[in-house]
Amino acid sequence: MCGENMEYLGKVEKFVLGYIWFDYFGKIYFSRGSQEAEEFLADTIASDIAKDQRMHSKISSALKEAIKKLKEYWMIEVSGYEVSLTSYGEQVAKALNKDEYNKIKEEIASGRI
């Protein structure tokens, strides 16, 4: 069932799920200042992975859209100071293997979105 759920997710959505799952064990805490949580989170992740500063804006924009989509699909919850996988999101994230996640991460970091 969960493998099927991965099929309708794009590369960036899969990356966001994997990033939260593999790199942060399902939950990220942050302090966002005046930005909306999704925008701050997207900028933070883009800053973490972008290999080229010129790609930061492109990556950040794609991540923001992916975060919104994952919220709509009830795979993540975003509050003012944390983002976490829902139980459904965790099931879907577990279907992503670490090698596939690392490949996707490398592609996105290089701007291949």
Q: What is the pLDDT of residues 10-40, one digit of tens each?
A: 999 999 999 999 999 999 998 877 888 899 9
In this prediction, what percent of the chain has a pLDDT beyond 90?
75
Report the pLDDT value the prediction gives residue 34, as an integer from 0 to 100. 82
For 95, the token pair is: 């279907």
Report the pLDDT value the prediction gives residue 88, as an integer from 0 to 100. 97
Mean pLDDT confidence for 47-60: 90
Report the pLDDT value the prediction gives residue 102, as an integer from 0 to 100. 97
Tell whether the model's pLDDT for residue 3 goes beyond 60.
no
- 80 band by pLDDT with thresholds 50, 70 and 90: confident
Tell whether the model's pLDDT for residue 62 goes beyond 70.
yes
Q: Do the beta carbons of residue 113 and residue 12 sit within 8 Å?
A: yes
Where are the alpha helices (H) located in the chain, listed in sequence order?
2-7, 11-18, 24, 37-49, 56-72, 87-94, 98-109
Vertex 87 angle, CA 31 and 99, to 5°? 80
What is the pTM for the complete model shown? 0.91
Q: What amino acid occupies position 91?
A: Q
- 1 band by pLDDT with thresholds 50, 70 and 90: very low
Phi-psi region of 45 (alpha: psi -120 to 50; beta: other; left: phi over 0): alpha
